[in-house]
Amino acid sequence: MKKKKGILLLTLTNLSILLILVWSVNLIASLVMDGIYLYKQWNPPVSQTLYSESLPDQEYAHIIFQELRLLTKRYVPYVEWGREPFSGKTITIDQTGERVQPNVPKHPTKQVHFFGGSTMWGTGVDDQHTIPSLFNKLHPDYRVYNHAQSGFVSRQELAGLINLANQDQPMDIIVFYDGCNDPLTLCRADLSLNGHREESKFIQKLERTWETPKALFGSTQTMIQKLIKKGKRPGSQCQANPAYAEKVAMTLVNNWKLAKQIANFRGAEFLAILQPVISIGKPSIHYITEEFDGSDWLVVYPHVLEIKQKEQLDWIHDFTDSFDEPAFIYIDSCHTNNLGNQIIAQKISRILEIR
Q: State the Cα–Cα distance between residues 239 and 115, nearest whole angstrom.
A: 28
Planar angle of CA 167, 150, 253, nearest 5 degrees: 70
Minimum mean pLDDT among 38-42, 242-246, 251-255, 264-268: which range? 38-42
Q: State the Cα–Cα distance between residues 53 and 76, nearest whole angstrom.
A: 37
Q: Over pLDDT 70: what percentage of the chain?
A: 82
Q: Where are the alpha helices (DSSP H) in 230-280?
A: 237-240, 242-265
Residue 74 main-chain phi, psi, to 5 deg: -140, 160
Q: Are 107 and 133 in contact (CB under 8 A)?
A: no
User: Which of 169, 111, 180, 168 has its CA nearest to residue 141?
Assistant: 111
- For the purposes of burial, counting CB atoms within 10 Å of the CB of 66, is it exposed (0-12), middle (13-18) or buried (19 or more)? middle
User: Which of 113, 132, 130 has its CA nearest to residue 122?
Assistant: 130
C-beta atoms surrounding 74 within 10 Å = 10
Q: Are 83 and 71 in contact (CB under 8 A)?
A: yes
Q: What is the pLDDT of residue 156?
A: 98
User: Each residue of 174-216: pLDDT tens digit?
Assistant: 999 999 999 999 999 999 999 998 888 887 777 766 666 655 5
More confident residue, 33 or 249: 249
Q: What is the pLDDT of residue 48?
A: 74
Which residues fall within 8 angstroms of residue 171, CB to CB, at 6 or more apart? 111, 113, 164, 165, 263, 266, 268
C-beta atoms surrounding 14 within 10 Å = 10
User: Which of 294, 193, 292 has its CA nearest to residue 246?
Assistant: 193
Is residue 37 predicted with pLDDT exceeding 60?
Answer: no
Q: State the Cα–Cα distance between residues 275 and 333, nearest whole angstrom.
A: 12
User: Each residue of 282-300: pLDDT tens digit?
Assistant: 999 999 988 888 899 999 9
User: Which of 172, 181, 147 has its CA nearest to residue 161?
Assistant: 147
| CA–centroid distance for 69 within its chain | 14
- For the purposes of burial, counting CB atoms within 10 Å of the CB of 85, is it exposed (0-12), middle (13-18) or buried (19 or more)? middle
More confident residue, 82 or 35: 82
- Residue type at position 337: N
Q: What is the pLDDT of residue 181?
A: 97
Mean pLDDT of the chain: 88
More confident residue, 263 or 16: 263
Q: Kindly state the helix (H) or strand (E) to which residue 121 belongs, with its residue range.
A: helix 118-121
